[in-house]
Structure 1
Amino acid sequence: MTEELTPEMRDDLYGYIIILHKPVFSFTECLTTYSKEDMIALSDELQYKVRRSKKKIVIAEDFFKELSLKSQRQLSYQPKEILHLLKELMNGPKEIDFLPFSRKNPELFDLIYFRWVFLFYYEDTYTLVLPNETKEMLKNFIDDPDFKEKHKRKSLLRGYAEAFMNLYAAFETDFFLKVWNQHNKQYPLDLNELLTELIGVAWFNERLRFSDNLEYIFDNSFLDENDVPDFLLSSSHHDYYQPTKADIAYFAHHEFDERTAQYKKTSQFFAKKLNSQKLKDIMDLIMIYIKLDLDMQGLVGELNSEFSIVFDSVKDIEEFSCLYLNLNNHSRKLSNKGHTPTEITKNYNRISSVPNNVVPFTNKKTGKQEPIRVKKVGRNEPCPCGSGKKYKQCHGK
C-alpha cells in the first residue's frame, strides 16, 4: 500500500518542491511552471543574478546560466549518493513512490532545492526529471578524472566535519586541522586552505558553523555561537579523544556508537518488549539522553509516554539501571570531548565530568548501590524527544 502525504506535508511541499503539472523536460519549461514572483524569490535564495524586469523565459535562461557556472563547484561538495542519483536520472525520468523514496534518499531534497532536478506530480504519479540542458551540462564534467578526484577529497572532508560534530559538538579549528593532516597526508592543508574548504562544506550543511574569529567550529543544531566558549570551558581539563580513521568513517554516518557490547545488550533488553522499528527509536532516545547528559527520570517518563514502556517490577528496574549505567559509561560524550566516562576514569584517574545529579540503583552482582550520573533537562534545551523544539515548549509544558 502506497504511503500518503498528510495535508500538512502537502502544504509544505506542493507548489515549491513538488510541481502539480504534467512532466516537461527542458529546463526553461520546468522552471517556468513557477510564477514569476516565485522564480525571482528562488533566484534570490540561491544568490543567482537574473533580470527581474524581463519575461519568465528570460529569467529561466539567466537562472540556468548561473546554475551552469556554479554546478561543478557545488556538486564537488555533495555526497556521492547525489552524484549516483544524477547519473541514474541521466538515463531518463524516474517515477517514484515519493515518501519511501525520499526517506531512503534524503539527498533528493538538495537536488530539488538547487533545481538540478524537478519533481512533478500528475495523475497520481510522482516523476523526477533531470532537464535536458542540465543533463548535457553534467556530461561535460561528472565523469572527468579531475572532478572525481576533487569530489573524493571534498567528500572526505565533509565526512570528517560530520564525524567531529557527532563526537564533540564544538572543537578548535586547529585540532581539526591536526587530525586531518595526520590522517590524510595525500591531501595536506594549511589553516587558510582548510577554512576555505570548510566554508564551502558549510554552505550545504546547516549544522556546520564557525565562531566569528574562525577559532572554533561547532554544531549549530546543538549549540548557539554564544554558548560555545562556555561549553568548551566546561570540559577544558580534558584533552580531546583522538579519533582513528575507523572512528571518522563510522561517526561520519552515525550520531551514536551502536557497535559497543553495552549498546547491544541494552537493545536486546528492549527487543523483548516491542517491534524492530520502535526499538531503533527507543535506542536513539536513550542515546540522546546519554550523549547530552539528560535526566534519567525524564528518560523513563519519555519511554512510558512515547512507547508505553513500563518498568513494573524491581527486577526490570534493576536490570535497566545496570544496563543504562554500563551504556552511559561506555558511550562517547560531548561533555567529555568525545571520551567515554570509562576512558576518563582510566586515563585521568578521576571520575568523568558528567553532571553531578545522581540516580542510585543497586548493582545485582556486587549488591552495592552505585550512581548513574545525569543532568536535569534545562527548560531552554532541546527536548530529548527529538521534536526540535525547546523542552519548555514540548514535553516540559
Structure 2
Amino acid sequence: ESIIVNDRIDELMAEKANKPYYIPEQEELLKYVEDSYFEKSPAYNKLYDYIKKNFYEGDDYKTQILTEDLQGICQFAFDMKLISACINNHGIVFDSQKQIQEVLQLVMNLSNNVRLWENNGHTPDELYKCYEKPNLRPLPERPFGFTESNVIDFIPSKKVGRNDPCPCGSGKKYKILIDKKSKLVIKG
C-alpha cells in the first residue's frame, strides 16, 4: 500500500530487475509470518553485543530496542543522519572518536547484511560475493611499472612577451599575431 501511495513502484521494480530471488529454508520462511520478524544475522548480534557491553551495562531491553531501531533504518531507509539521530535519541554518549568509529563500522556491517526487498531478499553482501566479486581481478603483486618511454616530462615554458617570436613557429612577433586575432570579426 505505501509503495502505491508514494508512487515508487516503478523505481523499486527497476532496482529489483535482474537480481535473483533469495529462497529461504522452509523453517526460516515460516518465521516471516510474523510481521515484525527479521533475520538476526551475525552482524546484528555483534552490534547487539557491543551496545549491551559498552552503553547499557547488560540491559537487554534497552539494547534490543536500539539495535532493532538501527536494523529497521538499515532495512527500510538507510541514511547516516537517521542512524545518528537514532543513536542520539537513545541517549548514547560516546567516550571517544575510536568508539564512534567502532559503532559506525558495526552499523555499516549490519547494513550490508540486511535482507532488502529491492535485492529480492538478498543482502548487499550476498549479492557482492556471488555476482560482483568473482568478476573482479586481483591487484597485481607488483605496482604498475612505468617505463621511461611512457613518461612525458612537462617542462614549464617561458612566458611569451609581446615582442618575442610567436611560439607557433611562424617567425612573426607575438604581438602582431595576437593583434590580428583580436581584430577578427565574424559575420553572421
> Same fold judged by TM-score > 0.5?
yes
Task: Name the counterpart of 1:262.
Answer: 43
Residue type at the aligned position of 2:4 = D
Distance 2:3 2:63 in 1: 28
Distance 2:120 2:21 in 1: 5
Matched, 1:307 2:90: yes
Distance 2:71 2:126 in 1: 18
Once the two structures are TM-superposed, the CA of residue 243 in structure 1 deviates from its matched residue by 2.5
Once the two structures are TM-superposed, the CA of residue 233 in structure 1 deviates from its matched residue by 1.6
Matched, 1:288 2:72: yes
Once the two structures are TM-superposed, the CA of residue 252 in structure 1 deviates from its matched residue by 2.0
Could you list the structure 1 runs, at least 4 aligned residues long, displaced by more than 6 angstroms after superposition: none
Distance 1:243 1:228 in 2: 24
Task: Name the counterpart of 2:11.
Answer: 230
Once the two structures are TM-superposed, the CA of residue 271 in structure 1 deviates from its matched residue by 0.8
Return closer, same or farther for 1:320/1:340 CA change in 2, 3 Å cut-off: same
Counterpart pick for 1:347 among 106, 125, 130: 130
Gaps of 5+ in 1: 1-219, 351-397
Secondary structure at the counterpart of residue 280 of structure 1: helix
Gaps of 5+ in 2: 134-188
What is the Cα-based RMSD across aligned positions, in Å? 1.9
Q: Once the two structures are aligned, what percentage of the paired residues are identical?
A: 25
Once the two structures are TM-superposed, the CA of residue 344 in structure 1 deviates from its matched residue by 0.4
Secondary structure at the counterpart of residue 99 of structure 2: helix
Higher relative contact order (CA 8 A, sep 6+): 2
Q: TM-score, normalised by structure 1?
A: 0.30
Once the two structures are TM-superposed, the CA of residue 288 in structure 1 deviates from its matched residue by 1.1
CA contact (8 A) 2:16 2:120 kept: yes
Residues 206-229 of structure 1, C-alpha deviation per residue, up to 9 Å, x if partnerless? xxxxxxxxxxxxxx3x42254323
Q: TM-score, normalised by structure 2?
A: 0.61
Once the two structures are TM-superposed, the CA of residue 291 in structure 1 deviates from its matched residue by 0.4
CA contact (8 A) 1:289 1:296 kept: no
Distance 2:23 2:75 in 1: 18
Residue type at the aligned position of 1:271 = K
Counterpart pick for 1:278 among 45, 59, 62: 62
Q: More strand per residue: 1 or 2?
A: 1
Task: Name the counterpart of 1:326.
Answer: 109
